């Protein structure tokens, strides 16, 4: 009795068809064409697999996938974390992941952004188990890397990695659509943000929240290096044939995790609308081909680099816009004819302090609500610091003094000029500098004004910094003062960077108790930027808080109580206009 043997098609082992969900008709067609090709000398055209779109998932499931997104990703990492092998490191077993493959293409694609000769700070968004950060750390040892992920389990796997080093990598769990990155990373401190197959997991309507969040910790002109799924990808075609569509180009996988597929136009528009410019952007395509069945399958992804548009980092400028969307601009003649008044935007305000009687020209209150610069008015922090200097000339006596963001008033600089050796008030706003020059000329006699040198200084601008420092023969300043210059978080890092470059290098410990060590003094009200963020930025540039007022908690400092002594018997604290005012006294380490 004979036997009939049925043989399976002899497909190459390296060309597996990873399409278990193809419809029967498509499979039948593909196999029939492959069979016909073997019996026909004519070349059969290759076919491209596409599938028929079906209805979207119900509103109930859309809401559930959104609500439980973290849970689905945690389950994902739990399922795949078991696919590891043990590796002996320092007499202990460390896991090495087999499912998650390291991304060694980063140096090839974006190596020019990292530049191994420079120390840079990187944030990896959606770090997973570290397939981006560990190859980067190995290739560029000078990098410091922040790594965050939606899934706490993924972060735990990063920390368990054999190459994890907490002195070089800061790993933490974070939902970028709701958690503030500033709780983990100092403002304006990151050079490069990498987003590798991560933004696609976020609902399209929440993507702007992610970009807004990362902008807060990026330096001006920092980069986002981006790679993610593109429309027309094989995975999208597979999901389209199921009832797994959430929205336009947005799908849910079988394990509950979600994926958005970007077009080049949508991606560019998303970043540009949120303050980034496009450095490079393109769609990449790799074809996976099963020659025996004449099937071509496309893997598509979009790769781009975006640069954070430069922001104004001079003195923190008020972000107030005109309430009605326009500036008031009435000519002198028209205003006089119509109303019998002058339309001048400037007004004179008097400020009396001990034996000083200042007449300060600044922007009229009538127009302050239309002003984009905070430097055209006189703030209460400047009034308080001026009172402190007037009652405690030892702070500046015989020293070189720099005022950052002096605005148009310059009252602190003018009072410091009485006993200081050199005083340099600075600002980045052209109108503020014009008024500052007028105010100093009209309020100081020549013996004092000759010691005052007004300079333009945009924080972080190397040319401006060098020009200011030359006034001290490149020795730096003994005292740096800033009043209400901590208004917006984007400016805090450039503020301390500039102070670091301009403070005197004479950092000896002698006479610290007398306050003779070079100092950086801030007087302000905490508004958009809290104390923790200021201290974090200060630490990044080597500044140490040694005293503060009104809090008296820094008992271990030799300067403890110094600021309090400035008030004793000299200034009545009950007369201070705003009880929310603070003074912070820093030394450079």
Where is the domain boundary, 257, 282, 308?
308
* Residue 352 scores a pLDDT above 60: yes
Q: State the Cα–Cα distance between residues 566 and 578, nearest whole angstrom.
A: 18
| Percent of the chain predicted with pLDDT > 90 | 35
416 and 348, same structural domain?
yes
378 and 282, same structural domain?
no
54 found inside a domain: no
314 found inside a domain: no
Provide the pLDDT confidence category of residue 365 given band limits of 50, 70 and 90. Answer: low
* Residue 192 scores a pLDDT above 90: yes
Q: What is the largest CA-CA distance in the chain?
A: 124
338 found inside a domain: no
Q: State the Cα–Cα distance between residues 551 and 572, nearest whole angstrom.
A: 17
- Looking at per-residue confidence, does 111 or 445 come out higher? 445
370 found inside a domain: yes
448 and 360, same structural domain?
yes
Only one residue has tokens 């016909």, namely 36
Backbone angles phi, psi at 462, to 5 degrees: -65, -40
257 and 143, same structural domain?
yes
292 and 359, same structural domain?
no
Burial of 438 (0-12, 13-18, 19+ CB in 10 A): middle
pLDDT (0 to 100) of residue 459 = 93
SS3 460: coil
Backbone angles phi, psi at 296, to 5 degrees: -115, 130
Start-to-end CA distance of the chain, whole Å, equals: 95
How remote is the C-alpha of 520 from its chain's centroid? 25
368 and 274, same structural domain?
no
Tokens of 567: 């008030």
- Looking at per-residue confidence, does 473 or 317 come out higher? 473
Q: State the Cα–Cα distance between residues 348 and 361, nearest whole angstrom.
A: 4
- Looking at per-residue confidence, does 193 or 259 come out higher? 193
Q: State pLDDT tens for residues 208-263.
A: 999 999 999 999 889 999 999 998 887 777 777 666 788 888 888 777 788 899 99
240 and 379, same structural domain?
no
- Looking at per-residue confidence, does 92 or 298 come out higher? 298
Q: What is the DSSP letter of 428?
A: S
Rounded mean pLDDT, 278-307: 81
pLDDT (0 to 100) of residue 47 = 44
The number of helices, as runs of H, and strands, as runs of E, in the chain is 18, 22
Domain that holds residue 441: 344-588
77 and 137, same structural domain?
yes
pLDDT (0 to 100) of residue 133 = 86
258 and 157, same structural domain?
yes
Provide the pLDDT confidence category of residue 110 given band limits of 50, 70 and 90. Answer: confident
258 and 379, same structural domain?
no
Q: State pLDDT tens for residues 31-62.
A: 455 555 444 444 444 444 444 445 677 777 77
Cα R_g (the chain), whole angstroms? 32
Rounded mean pLDDT, 400-425: 95
Q: What is the mean pLDDT of the chain?
A: 76
Q: Can you give the CATH number for the domain in which 408 is found?
A: 3.40.50.150
339 found inside a domain: no
SS3 366: coil
* Residue 294 scores a pLDDT above 70: no
225 found inside a domain: yes
394 and 303, same structural domain?
no
Q: How many CB atoms lie within 10 A of CB 281?
A: 17
203 and 115, same structural domain?
yes
Decide: 358 and 386 in contact? Cβ < 8 Å: no
Nearest to 307 by CA among 334, 283, 344, 275: 275
pLDDT (0 to 100) of residue 317 = 36
48 found inside a domain: no
159 found inside a domain: yes
Q: How many structural domains is the chain composed of?
A: 2
């Amino acid at each position: 009795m004979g036997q009939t043997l049925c043989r399976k098609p002899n497909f190459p082992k390296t060309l597996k068809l990873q399409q278990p969900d193809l419809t029967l008709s498509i499979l039948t067609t593909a196999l029939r064409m492959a069979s016909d090709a073997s019996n026909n000398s004519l070349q059969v055209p290759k076919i491209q697999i596409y599938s028929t779109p079906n209805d979207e998932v119900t509103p109930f499931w859309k809401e559930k996938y959104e609500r439980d997104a973290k849970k689905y990703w945690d389950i994902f990492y739990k399922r795949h974390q078991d696919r590891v092998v043990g590796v002996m490191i320092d007499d202990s077993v460390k896991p090495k992941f087999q499912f998650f493959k390291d991304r060694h293409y980063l140096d090839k694609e974006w190596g020019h952004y990292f530049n191994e000769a420079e120390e840079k700070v990187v944030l990896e968004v959606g770090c997973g188990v570290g397939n981006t950060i560990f190859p980067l750390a190995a290739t560029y040892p000078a990098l410091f890397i922040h790594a965050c992920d939606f899934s706490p389990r993924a972060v735990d796997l990063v920390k368990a990695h054999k190459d994890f080093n907490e002195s070089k990598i800061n790993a933490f769990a974070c939902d970028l659509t709701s958690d503030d990155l500033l709780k983990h990373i100092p403002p304006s401190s990151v050079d490069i943000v990498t987003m590798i197959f991560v933004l696609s997991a976020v609902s399209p309507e929440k993507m702007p929240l992610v970009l807004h969040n990362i902008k807060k910790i990026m330096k001006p002109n920092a980069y986002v290096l981006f790679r993610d799924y593109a429309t027309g990808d094989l995975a999208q075609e597979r999901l389209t044939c199921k009832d797994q569509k959430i929205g336009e180009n947005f799908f849910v996988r079988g394990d509950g995790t979600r994926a958005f597929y970007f077009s080049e136009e949508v991606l560019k528009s998303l970043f540009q609308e949120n303050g980034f410019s496009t450095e490079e952007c393109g769609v990449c395509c790799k074809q996976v081909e099963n020659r025996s069945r004449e099937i071509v399958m496309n893997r598509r992804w979009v790769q781009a680099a975006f640069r954070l548009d430069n922001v104004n980092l001079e003195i923190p400028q008020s972000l107030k816009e005109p309430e009605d969307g326009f500036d008031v601009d009435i000519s002198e003649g028209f205003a006089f004819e119509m109303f019998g008044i002058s339309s001048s935007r400037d007004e004179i305000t008097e400020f009396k302090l001990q034996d000083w009687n200042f007449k300060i020209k600044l922007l009229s209150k009538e127009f302050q609500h239309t002003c984009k610069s905070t430097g055209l008015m006189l703030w209460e922090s400047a009034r308080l610091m001026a009172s402190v200097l007037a009652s405690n000339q030892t702070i500046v006596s015989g020293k070189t003094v720099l005022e950052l963001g002096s605005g148009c008033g310059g009252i602190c600089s003018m009072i410091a000029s009485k006993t200081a050796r050199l005083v340099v008030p600075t600002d980045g706003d052209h109108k503020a500098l014009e008024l500052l020059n007028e105010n100093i000329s009209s309020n100081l006699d020549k013996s004092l004004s000759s010691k005052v040198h007004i300079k333009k200084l945009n924080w972080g601008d190397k040319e401006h910094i060098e020009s200011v420092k030359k006034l001290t023969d490149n020795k730096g300043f003994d005292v740096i003062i800033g009043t209400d210059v901590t208004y917006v978080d984007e400016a805090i890092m450039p503020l301390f960077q500039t102070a670091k470059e301009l403070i005197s290098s004479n950092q000896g410990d002698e006479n610290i108790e007398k306050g003779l060590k070079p100092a950086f003094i801030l007087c302000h009200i905490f508004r958009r930027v809290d104390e923790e963020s200021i201290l974090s930025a200060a630490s990044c540039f080597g500044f140490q808080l040694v005293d503060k007022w009104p809090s008296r908690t820094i008992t271990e400092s030799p300067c403890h109580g110094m600021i309090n002594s400035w008030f004793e018997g000299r200034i009545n604290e009950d007369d201070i206009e705003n009880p929310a005012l603070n003074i912070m006294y820093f030394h450079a380490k």
